[in-house]
Structure 1
Amino acid sequence: MGVNQQTLTIRLSEMKDAQQIMDLDAVVWDDYSSPEPLDWTSREDFLRHCQPGSQFVALVDHRICGYVGFRYPTLIKSNRHVYEINIAVHPQYQHRGVGTSLMDMVKEWASEQGMKKLSLRVLASNSGALEFYEKCGFVREGQLINEFLVGGRYVDDILMGYLL
């Protein structure tokens, strides 16, 4: 059931990928997976926040089916050994190895860049994502209680980390 590794290509994002990534964001980020749906107002808005080369994209038959973004969590120099990541995989490609391949790529690349840690945040209500991150070796480092009001109920924000 996995995606054939010969048909899956992973590379750094390029300017030409903007619209496909924006389309993927519209499908993936909803009240279940995010504190609020991700709605880019324009291509320029997207590119201001997600510059080319700030994520790895996974392609099957030249179509983006997932990505993992990375950035410094703060502007503080003493925090420059950490990348905060976010990952999205199109529902049609979930549970087929795309997410794991993206995670393996960002771990390897971040390590080669001298990073010592990856961190991420995930809603406590998103049990599938929590299970996936734990399967990838991430550990829970903290929990922000009632951090978001989503769909009329308060949801905790789970902080997770992976030491490289």
Structure 2
Amino acid sequence: VTATGDGAAVFEFSIDNGPWVNNEPSTNTYTFTNVPFGEHVIQARDINGCGVASDMVLVMDYPLFFTPNNDGYNDTWQVFGIENQLDAKIFIYDRYGKLLKQLSPTGPGWDGTYNGELMPSSDYWFTIDYRELGESEGAQKQFKAHFSLKR
């Protein structure tokens, strides 16, 4: 979190109405750690009493790899932290850009197959179409990254 103000401003921060924290000496930034996936309220306030600002943030994550071998560990691939965004869409592509699967954020995830066939060990790419919190349904953003399937 980073807050800006005039040269005299010194900020402290809170997440989800928790305790106020800051860095010593103050840099007007703070990094929250071990934040669970999902939606959170971040607040920043000037310690001189000049006001409080707040914003909703979304923390999401995804596995860097998965191993769909039916051993009960890492058998499917899914994005975490967007379960409350029912209109979010997750698309998985092969290295050539071919769409392999569309996922729902509330579904079980991808099992590493395409049309019933096992996909090979490789890197796969994905996009997530989602909304920033507080934005209307038409104001979607897109996140792109990749992960590995290991057999």
With the shorter chain as reference, the TM-score category is under 0.3
Give the TM-score of the pair, scaled to structure 2.
0.24
Q: Between the two structures, name the one with larger relative contact order (CA 8 Å, sep ≥ 6).
A: 1
Structure in which a larger fraction of residues adopt helix = 1
In our comparison, the structure showing a higher alpha carbon Rg is 2
